[in-house]
Structure 1
Amino acid sequence: MLKNYFKIAIAVLRRRKFFTFISLFGISFTLTIVMTSTALLENVMSPAYPDYNRERSLYVQRVTLKNTKEGWINSNSASYNFVKKYVSTLKKPEKIAFYTSGTNTNAYVNNKKILLEVKYTNDLYWEVASFDFLSGKAYTKRQIDNAERVAIISDRTRKAYFGDQQDVVGKNIEVDNVNYRVNGVVRGVPRTNRHFQAEVYLPYTVSKTGYDDQGVMGNFSVILLAKSAADMPSIRAEYQKMVDKIPVDKEYDKLYAHADTPWEDLSRRFFGSDDSVGFGKMLVMVSAFLLLFLLLPTINLVNINITRIMERSSEIGVRKAFGASSRTLVYQFLVENIILTLLGGLIGIVFSYVVIYIFNQSGYTPDLNLSLNFSVLALGLFVCLLFGLLSGVYPAWRMSRLNVVSALKVR
């Protein structure tokens, strides 16, 4: 029976090629957007090189001062003073890493300017993250304390500055008119990972701008690494207790400095506030957007399917006249529609692979390699099945209601 339905479905698709093209394009295009977006979001938000410990890490990225009476707000990254005087007193985190946001600077080689992004870090930064060292090693606490001019560079920086040389450890690289000795070379990190991406990493003690500020705002972010995910609630509690004790300037009456996971930080920035994470609101908004995005091609398929039904009304009338039940006709039409949507889904999967391959090969975002995993494929097939059911139920019901005599009169 299913084999016959499949043959009928293929015959119907070949009969009206324009409607078939519109249907398949709507399904495949929608799935391509959903699946590639999911792959990108998964790459950005899931544990990935070199941030493999993300599931047991909390990130402190902003310090906010508020005057609730006057409505004043001042928000920025944390200062070194905030990190040293307050965060470093925490006992529960296994390790505390800190680093600056990336700053762009220039390097020159053979009269050619190279734009480099520089991060200043502490020694534990290299223990919290799992960088792939292609040569050399990370700088140590002793080198940081002595303010030694040593650098870790990415493999792209090595190629841009030193050409085809592979062994560059011990050589000098000039960054912002200062010479640094290369201490190690690491595999590059994509720009989507803002915590760890840079072309050059330097000890925070060699920063030209200084790091001995006395306020709570500056240019530093912090990673609190727990021994296990089970320790994260106790780290949060200890951290928040520490934050509550920080004195606030006279102009303000509230200080916020959250230790969040990446998902919490994302939801707090766009859907929450300093007093709420906003994760539930983010879930509702994203779900509503996806529902609307998927609903549009579904409505399009409903309209196309109704048109197809009216064209096949004579066929339906003949089948009813020869004893075919409404249930049989509805079942046949739903199977045909599911076959159509699954075919569109397969095309969408192929398109997704092609789009991701082109994106990876383009070098638009260096070191970023997207991929479709089994969960994304399962989601795609589920969406296809959902398309088939949703877009086929109403047209099938309309078909089952057709009167035999009226159907036979339609030409």
Structure 2
Amino acid sequence: MFKNYFKIAIAVLKRRKFFTFISLFGISFTLTILMVLTSFIEVMLSPNYPDVNRDRELFITRVELRSSKEDYTMMGALNFYLVNNFIAKMKTPEKIAMHSNRSTTNAYPNNKKLSVDLMYTNLAFWEVYQFKFLMGKPFSEQQLKNAEQVVVISEDLGNNYFGEGVSALGKEIEFNNLRYKVIGVVKTAPATVFYAASDIYLPYTLDVSTSGGTSLMGSYLVTLLAKSADDLPVMQEEYQQLLKRVPHPEENEELLFSYADTYLESFTRYVLGKGVASGRDQFFLILSAVIFVFLLLPTVNLMNINVSRIMERSSEIGVRKAFGASSRTLVGQFLVENLILTLLGGLMGLFMAMATISILNSSGLIANLDLKINFIVVCYSLLACLVFGLMSGVYPAWRMSKLNVVTALKANN
């Protein structure tokens, strides 16, 4: 039976090639966008080199001073004073990594301008983030204390500055009118790993902004690594208790807010968050609504095309009903035809998504981007195809089952 349904479905698709093309394109294009979007979200939120411990991490990225009268709000990254004198003394975390926001400067190898990113880090940064050292090693505690002018660089910077295949270890690199000795070369971190990706990593003792001052806002971020995921709520509570001991301008009736968040919450809090709410639930709600609307549009389009197809096939339906075909049989046939159409569109979408991801990975638009389509993405895509087929086929199939035999046969005249 299904073999006959398949043959009929292929014959119907060939009958009106333009409508078939529109249907297949709508399905495949929608699924391509969704699969590429899913791959982006996965690579952004899943543990990824060198941030492989994300399920045990919390991120402190902002402090906020808010007037109790709600006259103003000041927000920024953390000052070294706050990190060194308070956060560094937390008991629950296994490791506390500190690093500055990325800043951009220029280097001039062989009189060629090269834009490079740099960040200052502490020693724990190299234990929290699992970089693969291709050469050398990170700076030592003694080098950190002595503020030695040493750096760890990425593999890509080494190739661009010294040349492909040339060992950078022990050589000097110059930027900001200063020369630094390269003591380590790491595999380049993807640009999508915001808190760890850079071209140059320096000891924080070389950062002039760390000397003096009791301001709470500066240019540093903190990653807290727990011994296990079960300790994350404990770390969050300890950090909130710690904030109560941080001095701030109480005479101006300012309120201090800051949070130790998961990776996703660290982004959603300051876009969608309100009060203690992180904005994570709103993020998933908005994402779900966007996906639903994106799926609904081609479904409605396919439904309208299917209704038109049924009206064209009314005489065929009338003849089959006259010869004893039941409404249930006709509805089943049409749903199978529609599922075959959507599955073909799904396969086209899968190949289009694979091609698009390959192009994006090799384009260099996002440095070291490594998008993938995994098994879960494919399964969800096939599920989306089934939803497409059922949603766009049920109403037209119901319309077909209600056609009067005499009216359907007259449509042939």
Q: In which range does the TM-score fall when normalised by the shorter chain?
A: over 0.9
Name the residue aligned to 1:298: 299
Name the residue aligned to 1:131: 131
- Mapped partners of 2:396, 2:194: distance in 1: 49
| Structure 2 residues not aligned, in runs of 5+ | none
Please list the CA deviations of residues 171-213 of structure 1 after superposition, one character each: whole Å capped at 9, or x if unmatched: 1000211110001001111222110010101011112444433
Structure 2 residue identity aligned to 1:371: K
- Mapped partners of 1:302, 1:207: distance in 2: 62
- Mapped partners of 1:343, 1:212: distance in 2: 65
Please list the CA deviations of residues 7-56 of structure 1 after superposition, one character each: whole Å capped at 9, or x if unmatched: 10100001100000000000000000000011011101110000000110
Name the residue aligned to 1:159: 159
The reply on whether 1:366 has 2:385 as its aligned counterpart is no
Q: How many pairs does the alignment contain?
A: 411
Name the residue aligned to 2:376: 375
Name the residue aligned to 1:193: 193
Shift in CA distance, 252/149, structure 1 to aligned 2, threshold 3 Å:
farther
Shift in CA distance, 175/348, structure 1 to aligned 2, threshold 3 Å:
same
Q: Retained in 2: the 8 A contact 1:56–1:225?
A: yes
Structure 2 residue identity aligned to 1:345: G
Name the residue aligned to 2:320: 319
The TM-score, its normalising length taken from structure 2, stands at: 0.98
- Mapped partners of 2:101, 2:211: distance in 1: 13
Name the residue aligned to 2:223: 223
The reply on whether 1:43 has 2:43 as its aligned counterpart is yes
Name the residue aligned to 1:400: 401
Please list the CA deviations of residues 295-320 of structure 1 after superposition, one character each: whole Å capped at 9, or x if unmatched: 00000000000000000000000000
Q: CA RMSD in A?
A: 1.1
SS state of the match for residue 152, structure 1? strand
- Mapped partners of 1:266, 1:168: distance in 2: 35
Please list the CA deviations of residues 83-128 of structure 1 after superposition, one character each: whole Å capped at 9, or x if unmatched: 0111011011000000001000011111111110001000110000
1:252 is displaced (CA, Å) by 4.2
Name the residue aligned to 2:34: 34
Name the residue aligned to 2:345: 344
- Mapped partners of 1:213, 1:115: distance in 2: 30
Shift in CA distance, 113/209, structure 1 to aligned 2, threshold 3 Å:
farther
The TM-score, its normalising length taken from structure 1, stands at: 0.98
Shift in CA distance, 211/318, structure 1 to aligned 2, threshold 3 Å:
farther
SS state of the match for residue 123, structure 1? coil
Structure 2 residue identity aligned to 1:305: N
Please list the CA deviations of residues 339-378 of structure 1 after superposition, one character each: whole Å capped at 9, or x if unmatched: 0000000000000000000111111112111110001011
1:235 is displaced (CA, Å) by 1.0
Name the residue aligned to 2:21: 21
Name the residue aligned to 2:100: 100
Q: Retained in 1: the 8 A contact 2:80–2:210?
A: no
SS state of the match for residue 260, structure 1? coil
**Superposition map of 1:52-71 within 5 A:** 52-71=52-71
Structure 2 residue identity aligned to 1:231: D
Q: Retained in 1: the 8 A contact 2:60–2:266?
A: no
Shift in CA distance, 214/132, structure 1 to aligned 2, threshold 3 Å:
same
- Mapped partners of 1:364, 1:319: distance in 2: 56
1:271 is displaced (CA, Å) by 2.0
Q: Retained in 2: the 8 A contact 1:169–1:182?
A: yes
| Structure 1 residues not aligned, in runs of 5+ | none
Name the residue aligned to 2:329: 328
- Mapped partners of 1:208, 1:108: distance in 2: 23
SS state of the match for residue 252, structure 2? coil
Q: Retained in 2: the 8 A contact 1:360–1:368?
A: yes
- Mapped partners of 1:131, 1:59: distance in 2: 18
- Mapped partners of 1:177, 1:194: distance in 2: 27
Structure 1 residue identity aligned to 2:196: F
Q: Retained in 1: the 8 A contact 2:81–2:210?
A: no
Structure 2 residue identity aligned to 1:351: M
- Mapped partners of 2:199, 2:393: distance in 1: 53
1:280 is displaced (CA, Å) by 2.3
Structure 1 residue identity aligned to 2:101: S
**Superposition map of 1:110-125 within 5 A:** 110-125=110-125
Name the residue aligned to 1:84: 84
- Mapped partners of 1:39, 1:212: distance in 2: 44
- Mapped partners of 1:247, 1:111: distance in 2: 49
The reply on whether 1:184 has 2:222 as its aligned counterpart is no
- Mapped partners of 1:315, 1:101: distance in 2: 69
Name the residue aligned to 2:273: 272
